[in-house]
Amino acid sequence: MSEKIEIGSVITGKVTGVQPYGAFVALDENTQGLVHISEVTHGFVKDINEHLKVGDEVNVKVLSIDEKAGKIGLSIRATEEAPAAAAEAKVKKPRKRQAAPIKMEDDSAQGFNTLKDKLQEWIDQSQRNDLIKK
């Protein structure tokens, strides 16, 4: 691996291969790295082929270097300024919620009653049903 490549440096490279998960970029004659699909551009990338093709020259930022595995992680989006819409989406203002109106109903209306209020009604109803069955 090249000694001059350092984490954080921005380098111009050439796309040498495109896969569904990312693109391989040659940094020099002996060194290449991978731009993961999430690092291609700001926003969601469904199909990397809509953004990159073999032979494209791209500016990449070195995110990571794994000497033992011989892998270099790269980012194209780290070299670009975030679009204004994306920046605004990150800082969302909380929406104000409007309280639901409270309906005041008269006592004679059917609906929710406490168990205590309904207990006697249920007992009477049960006794009537028992009389009917006999």
Tens of pLDDT along 15-63? 999 999 999 999 988 889 999 999 999 989 899 999 999 999 999 999 9
- The CATH number given to whatever domain includes residue 57 is 2.40.50.140
Domain count, the chain: 1
CA dist., res. 4 & res. 90, Å (int): 35
Residue 16 within any structural domain of the chain: yes
Residue 92 clears pLDDT 70, i.e. is over it: no
Question: Does residue 70 sit within a domain?
Answer: yes
Q: Is residue 120 part of a domain?
A: no
Question: So what's the pLDDT on residue 91?
Answer: 61
Percentage of the chain beyond pLDDT 90 is: 40
Report yes or no on 59 lying in a domain: yes
Rounded to an integer, the average pLDDT of 102-122 is 68
What phi, psi does 124 have (nearest 5°)?
-60, -40
Q: Cβ(7)–Cβ(63) under 8 Å?
A: yes
For 65, the domain range is 10-80
Residue 96 φ then ψ, to 5° = -85, 130
Residue 56 lies in a domain: yes
- When pLDDT is cut at 50, 70 and 90, the band that residue 74 belongs to is very high
Distance between CA 6 and CA 67 in Å, rounded?
Answer: 12
